[in-house]
A and B are shown apart, each in its own frame.
Chain A
Amino acid sequence: MTPGHRQPGQRRWTGWMLDAYAALVLLYLFLPIFVIVAYSFNKPLGKFNFVWKSFSFDAWRDPFVFPALVEAMKMSLKVAAVSTSVSLVFGTLIALALTRYTWKGAGPVNLLLVLPLTTPEVVLGSSLLALFLTMNAPTGFWTIVIAHIMFSVSYVALTVKARIRGFDWTLEEAAMDLGATPLRTITHVTLPLIAPGIAAAGMLSFALSLDDFIITLFNAGSDVTYPLYVYGARRAAFPPQINVLATAILVSSLLLLGATVLWQNRSLKQALVKE
């Protein structure tokens, strides 16, 4: 007997409605992106690129006419590079400890990792500022880096942990039993195994650092990152070059993402072939 009250026609109809709804939500997600890209080709009337005037390549031809904007972008890239490198090391070590050992520290360490993610950024930023004020430490580049490492460590540790959970660590023992030194085992077995996880975590950490505004605002002193520049731009002038850089960041992350996927597929294939 076929299941009683299934009505195929009606089900197809609700399914179609569901898909249409999902498509609308995706459209909502993309609406501002279309605007950002489109307005990078705008030639605004005044200093503020908020109203469409006419199409032009001006901003793309001269993306670097505003020295302050360029400096801010450089600052952001520097902060992201330093904080990502450090948090990759710290976070990966934590992930290794959490996936490979059963020990009584695992619970507290997990909690310590999750806490910063469940604390609003405004609290994270202001507490750090309270600490720096208490210590009379001047805020600037290094305090921004300290803050970014703080929130990135959690993301890196959790991302790498999720990727390497359930790995076959006996491969390492096999390498050593076959005479590999510990160092050689790490460079030839451990690292290649966890590399895709580290790559994913690194991109996430870099993107988060590049994008962070609230925590940075509290701890930047007089230094200016790209998001801080954009924030200040709401008062003085909001040139289309801001949109050009935003579009460039979007496109380069897309390319990077595509390259990583290709690379991971390839190393996966190689690993399979080797076996």
Chain B
Amino acid sequence: MAGTAMGGTRRNPWAPWLLVAPGVLWLLAFYLLPTLALARTSVGPEGVAWYDGYQRAFTDYGQHLLRSFWYAGLATVLALLLGYPLAYVIAFRAGRAKNLLLGLVVLPFFTTFLVRTFAWKTILGDEGWLVGLLGTLHLLPSEGRLLSTTWAVIGGLTYNFLPFMILPIYVSLEKIDRRLTEAAQDLYCNALEAFRKVVLPLSLPGVFAGSLLTFIPAAGDFINAELLGSPNQKMLGSVIQGQFLTVRDYPLAAALSFVLMTIITILVLIYTRLLGTEELA
């Protein structure tokens, strides 16, 4: 859709560069440069082995790193199981209510992230109605807790990043030509087969984009773990934050942050290699 440029800039090859200059310079100065500063900080002051921070990162906090990716992975799978059917219903079965339902999906996220997570603390609390209900139904042992458990943290992560899963899947489902599923059914596929052979493959780009957009913030998050978990559920983000802002062991903190970034960048690169950046945007 490269239209012709307008009048004064009609044949000026510099025009696009000038247009992007302020924003791009900002991103170079406050996204790219900080990454270099992070790398520089992580190798520590002179006189200390450059890998010292990294060594301590892996030996002391390897379990937090693993836990973060494990929780984020589970939350992503749960978000997919919850989000895909909802996206499917909105795209294929909602009719005129489509826009209303999309609005409803986004609406909860107009309240502050932190306040929402505190609300989960209330819902899952020991004196809350949910614990009472589950106790009465004998689904939870007496003295059993929901709050401060691994599942509370994973549930919170799933909740907070669910729209990032639903919206890309919805977009990819919405693009599917309805005649394709009709054709499949005319060719003797039943509804399930038509879904498996036509709809699901065509929606995969949305599933991948949604998974990435859920997994990345979930892996770096520490609010859910701090508010809904106990110290046993501490995630890497908590450690990075504590080391940077409280302990002020900058090389270690920067090394931890750099490791997290590197692993996620590799995942993103694999993703973009496979599927391109269009779906992410």
Whether A25 lies near B123 (C-beta < 8 A) is: no
A254 to B121, CA, bound (A): 25
Size class of the contact patch on chain A: 35 or more
Q: Which residue of A lies closest to B101 (CB)?
A: A26
Of the candidates A127, A166, A246, the one whose C-beta lies within 8 Å of that of B34 is: A127
Q: How far is the CB of B66 from chain A (nearest CB, A)?
A: 16
Chain B: interface secondary structure?
helix
Whether B244 lies near A242 (C-beta < 8 A) is: no
Residues of A within 8 A of B3 (CB): 99-100, 167-170
Q: How far is the CB of A210 from chain B (nearest CB, A)?
A: 7
- Most chain A beta-carbon contacts within 10 A, residue among B17, B41, B101, B281: B281
Residues of B within 8 A of A129 (CB): 244
- Most chain B beta-carbon contacts within 10 A, residue among A87, A111, A128: A128
Asked if A82 is at the interface of the complex by the 8 Å CB criterion, the answer is no
Q: Which residue of B lies closest to A14 (CB)?
A: B191
Of the candidates B89, B221, B237, the one whose C-beta lies within 8 Å of that of A22 is: B89
Q: How far is the CB of B37 from chain A (nearest CB, A)?
A: 4
Whether A130 lies near B250 (C-beta < 8 A) is: yes
Q: Mark B91-128, 1 if CB is under 8 A from A, else 0.
A: 00100000001011101101111111111111101011
Q: In the complex where A29-B108, A127-B34, A214-B237 touch, is A122 in contact with B119 (Cβ < 8 A)? A: no
Asked if B196 is at the interface of the complex by the 8 Å CB criterion, the answer is no
A131 to B122, CA, bound (A): 38
Q: How far is the CB of B259 from chain A (nearest CB, A)?
A: 10
A238 to B227, CA, bound (A): 13
Q: In the complex where A120-B237, A162-B281 touch, is A94 in contact with B113 (Cβ < 8 A)? A: no
Which residues between 153 and 203 of chain B lie within 8 Å of chain A, taking CB atoms? 159, 162, 185-186, 188, 190-191
Q: How far is the CB of A244 from chain B (nearest CB, A)?
A: 11
Of the candidates A91, A102, A157, A170, the one whose C-beta lies within 8 Å of that of B2 is: A102
Whether A130 lies near B41 (C-beta < 8 A) is: yes
Instruction: Given A39-B122, A105-B17, output 15 extra A-B contacts at Cβ < 8 Å.
Output: A6-B191, A28-B159, A33-B111, A36-B119, A39-B119, A97-B15, A99-B1, A100-B3, A122-B236, A124-B34, A127-B261, A150-B30, A167-B1, A247-B111, A253-B110
Chain A: residues with CB nearer than 8 A to chain B?
3-7, 11, 14-15, 18-19, 21-22, 25-26, 28-33, 35-36, 39, 50-51, 87, 89-91, 93-94, 96-103, 105-106, 109-124, 126-131, 133-134, 146-147, 149-150, 153-154, 157-158, 161-162, 165-170, 172-173, 176, 182, 185, 190, 207, 210-211, 213-214, 217-218, 226-227, 230-231, 234, 238, 242-243, 246-247, 249-250, 253-254, 257
Name 9 interchain pairs, CB-CB below 8 A, sorted by A.
Answer: A22-B90, A32-B117, A35-B123, A116-B27, A123-B261, A161-B281, A173-B4, A182-B8, A242-B115
